[in-house]
Amino acid sequence: MIQAPARRIPDEARMGFLPQEIIRKKRDGAALTEEEIFFLIEGLTRGRVTEGQAAAFAMAVFFRGMGLDERVALTEAMMRSGEVLQWDLPGPVLDKHSTGGVGDTVSLALAPAVAACGGYVPMISGRGLGHTGGTLDKLDAIPGYVSQPDADTFRAVTRNVGCAIIGQTGDLAPADKRLYAIRDVTATVESIPLITASILSKKLAAGLQGLVMDVKVGSGAFMASLEEAQSLAKSLVTVANRAGLPTSALLTDMDAPLASAAGNAVEVAYAVDYLTGRRREPRFHEVTVRLGAEMLFLGRIVASVADGRARMEEAIASGRAAERFGMMVAALGGPADFVEASERHLARAPVVRAVHAHRTGFVTSVDTRTVGVAVIALGGGRTRAEDVIDHAVGLTNLAGPGEEVGPGRPLAIVHARDEGTADAAEAALRRAYVIGQDKPAGRGIILERMAERVA
């Protein structure tokens, strides 16, 4: 790893800047210069800009927005606030980022599949946020797995296995960590320019050569409407490409859980079942393969997205992706036989209960957010930062839209620590599901693709 070269602001220019005047300028709707943005972010990183000033800046951006040049400058300033990874590998360094969903355990299957196709995936993931699950919380369900290894281990596993899924260190984009904490308590999280800079600064700092964004849309997503998701995806793709990172985006449906499992250990078990061929649900498979195809195309491993899809299908069907996943788990401290015997290693909840609908019919809609909140209430997520997650709890066999439910097919199976939390989860599931007599028309999981060709 290397320290990113600092954005040099001439001393005479720095002497002319005042944080409050830059904030005033943005408050009044004017565009900030690259130097002004770098000054603010450098000041936030080094303590010369106070939390109150950073909060005022975030609020000004929330209401006044940012143009493309400002978004690029903010992203690059936050990226350069800490270390930037450099890689010397025989293949392209690729990654994906999801804006968050329920039952979204794609990373666990996608990273090893892309690695099996010749890409290198140093995936830096996060904890759960709100009602959505976090990849690191899932990996922590694997006994012995070190989700925050030292830099040498991270680099070695990436090189030797082809993929390593770990947590963000404090050295990557520290300005983003500070600004996000301020946004989180000042009602300024839902700002597309700030979301864009937050996501991309970390990805740029990871030294990537290609990035695919999975922008979720629907009741279980942070962007509930298609228009909001399109705006975010366009911002991410445009800013990333302007900053020199080839990026495309897929808008994917989150009006139902992506997988039929939601939780931590249960989602890890689901990923193992998927990779080994014991269970391959169409929605989950389609998103995994399409995201991987985009990554292989951006990395120039294949000549087209269609070629990438074929390569991904083969890597998964042949078992090579499952082999890479097992290698990654073992290299990061987990059991050497995890893929072969995951049920022996993963914790199990003592209360397992099937929840049936009150009447037979078809699932016409699912309030996916309510499903995600039910997992948190079981203990599978956090309501406070200091909460300890119960990795064993969760939901499995979740019915999807269009499925017929009745005596032989429950809405879901609850995995709980006690009868009381199981009762609460059962009640939440009944609120989340709408059952009708007619089977609804299906819709594709991939709603739209956004890309920008860079010369």
**Known active-site residue 95:** yes
pLDDT for residue 207 = 93
pLDDT tens, 387-416? 788 999 999 999 999 999 999 999 999 999
Helices 34-46, 19-27: axis angle to 10 degrees equals 130
Spatial CB neighbours of 78, under 8 Å, sequence gap ≥ 6: 41, 173, 175, 176, 179, 197, 198, 201
pLDDT tens, 240-285? 999 999 999 999 998 899 999 999 999 999 999 999 999 999 999 9
**Known active-site residue 26:** no
pLDDT for residue 125 = 79
Any idea what DSSP says for residue 32? P
Residue from 7, 97, 155, 283 carrying the catalytic annotation: 97
Task: Tell me the one-letter amino acid at 7.
Answer: R
pLDDT for residue 375 = 93
pLDDT for residue 129 = 52
Q: How far is CA 371 from CA 274, 349, 367, 423, 451, in A?
A: 22, 18, 7, 14, 32
**Known active-site residue 96:** yes
Q: How far is CA 75 from CA 69, 122, 409, 437, in A?
A: 10, 20, 48, 50
pLDDT for residue 132 = 55
Decide: 98 and 135 in contact? Cβ < 8 Å: no
E-only strand ranges, 302-381 = 351-355, 361-366
Kindly tell me the burial class for residue 143, based on how many C-beta atoms sit within 10 Å of its own C-beta (0-12, 13-18, 19 or more).
middle
**Known active-site residue 198:** yes
**How far apart, in Å, do the first and last CA atoms of the chain sit?**
28
pLDDT for residue 225 = 87
Helix (H, G, I), strand (E, B) or coil at 268: helix
What DSSP string describes 197-255?
A: HHHHHHHHHTT-SEEEEEEEESTTSSS-SHHHHHHHHHHHHHHHHHTT--EEEEEEE-S
**Known active-site residue 202:** yes
| Tokens found for residue 399 | 């019915």
pLDDT for residue 172 = 82
Residue from 7, 26, 71, 96 carrying the catalytic annotation: 96
Residue from 26, 183, 345, 391 carrying the catalytic annotation: 183
* pTM (predicted TM-score): 0.90
Domains of the chain with bracketed CATH = 10-83 (1.20.970.10), 91-342 (3.40.1030.10), 349-436 (3.90.1170.30)
**Known active-site residue 183:** yes
pLDDT for residue 185 = 80
pLDDT for residue 184 = 76
Can you tell me the distance from the alpha carbon of 135 to that of 139, in angstroms, rounded to the nearest whole number? Answer: 6
pLDDT for residue 151 = 86
Residues of the chain with pLDDT under 70: 1-16, 126-133, 169-170, 382-386, 453-455
Residue from 105, 135, 248, 421 carrying the catalytic annotation: 135
pLDDT for residue 5 = 44
Residue from 198, 219, 252, 260 carrying the catalytic annotation: 198
pLDDT for residue 386 = 65
**Known active-site residue 288:** no
Residue from 45, 75, 81, 98 carrying the catalytic annotation: 98
| Tokens found for residue 61 | 């951006």
- Tokens 């015997």 belong to residue: 341
What is the rounded radius of gyration, in angstroms, for the C-alpha atoms of the chain?
Answer: 22
